Amino acid sequence: MSLFLVDREKCLRDGVCVDECPRFIIEMKDEDSYPVPIHGADELCINCGHCVTVCPSGALSLKTMTPESCPTVRADLLPTAEQVDHLLRSRRSIRAFEDRTVPREVLAGLIDIARYAPSGSNRQPVEWLVIYEPRDVRRLARLVEDWMRDGSGAGSYASSLARATEKGLDLICRGAPHVVIAHTPKGQESNGVIALTYLELAAYSLGLGTCWGGFINNAANNWPPLRQALALPEGRASCGAMLLGYPRHKYQRVPLRNEARITWR
Ligand SMILES: Cc1cc2nc3c(=O)[nH]c(=O)nc-3n(C[C@H](O)[C@H](O)[C@H](O)COP(=O)(O)O)c2cc1C
């Protein structure tokens, strides 16, 4: 079978699929002809599905994707620009969590959304590690603390760590019941950071609280005992660790931030 099939009854020959293809592997010989794959298109296609999903008449099917298998974009479900603006500005890092767990299905649902984050060449290299049990999260926090105390990474946080330890508080995981780690092959970590950002925003929209665990991520990539404890597969790097749970407090206002520094050219 060819890389894609075009239903000639439906095709409008509008060239939309040609315009949107990231690799320029769809061509129309002239205005009246139907779209066809260029020679060698199979090897170049990144299977992004744009040709299938942009076609207004649902005329094009990839070997791997038909229009019918792809959900319809619902304009009525899209938030307004004002709602998106407020969602993004009002999201906060949460550092106090309720003492209850989030159902596994909810976490799985967040990860299911995060897999729609963009990825370089649509490689979709992100995999997930969920530390679900709160006792395992505590164990993780203690390991990271050990790493910090060994002098490897506490820096200006050394005194905060000492204060937290003295009071029996958790500087690393802040009492969050769960930690979600995204990992990718080394060198592709930006894909995981973007996916975690999707997850964080989706979590906020569900009333959940999140906070990036920078020390966990650093230790996961640089401290063999933690790497072993997490059992990250060989050749893969942690992209980030997200603390997650139900927030104990509600933020009332949006804090001020620096003005954007922009160079226009
Ligand atoms: C890469 C990264 C690592 C972070 N690591 C930590 C961390 O280890 N502990 C923590 O309490 N907050 C951490 N944060 C949260 C930041 O402190 C927080 O984003 C910042 O203070 C702004 O607050 P906001 O997220 O509520 O706007 C991290 C954030 C990012 C983006």
Q: Is the pLDDT at 153 greater than 90, yes or no?
A: no
pLDDT of the residue at 234: 94
Tokens of 124: 């979709």
Residue closest by Cα to atom 20 of ligand 1:
93
pLDDT of res. 155? 80
Q: Indicate the domain borders of the chain.
A: 4-69, 83-245
SS3 content of the chain, % helix, strand, coil (to 5): 40, 15, 45
Phi/psi at 245 (5° precision) = 180, -175
- How many other CB atoms are found less than 10 A from the CB of residue 2? 11
The burial class, CB within 10 Å (0-12 / 13-18 / 19+), for 259 is exposed
Report whether pLDDT(152) > 70. Answer: no
In this prediction, residues 71-99 reach a mean pLDDT of 98
Best mutation site among 91, 93, 157 for ligand 1 pocket (most ligand atoms within 8 Å of CB): 93
Tell me whether domains 4-69 and 83-245 share a fold. no
The residue whose CA has the least distance to atom 14 of ligand 1 is 212
Q: How many residues are listed for the chain in this entry? A: 265
CATH superfamily of 83-245: NADH Oxidase (3.40.109.10)
Question: Which residue do the tokens 């994707």 mark?
Answer: 65
- Domain 4-69, CATH class in plain words: alpha beta
Residue 17 has pLDDT above 80, yes or no: yes
Q: Contact at 8 Å (CB) between 111 and 124?
A: no
For ligand 1, say whether the CB of 94 is within 6 Å of any of its atoms. Answer: no
Q: Is the pLDDT of residue 113 over 70?
A: yes
162 band by pLDDT with thresholds 50, 70 and 90 = confident
The reported pLDDT for the residue numbered 138 is 97
- Report the C-alpha gap between 62 and 91 in whole angstroms: 38
Q: What is the pLDDT of residue 183?
A: 98
Mean residue pLDDT of the chain comes to: 96
pLDDT at residue 177, rounded to an integer: 98
Report which ligand 1 atom has the smallest distance to the Cα of 215: 8
What confidence tens digit (pLDDT) does each residue in 191-235 have?
999 999 999 999 999 999 999 999 999 999 999 999 999 999 999
> Which pLDDT value is given to residue 149?
86
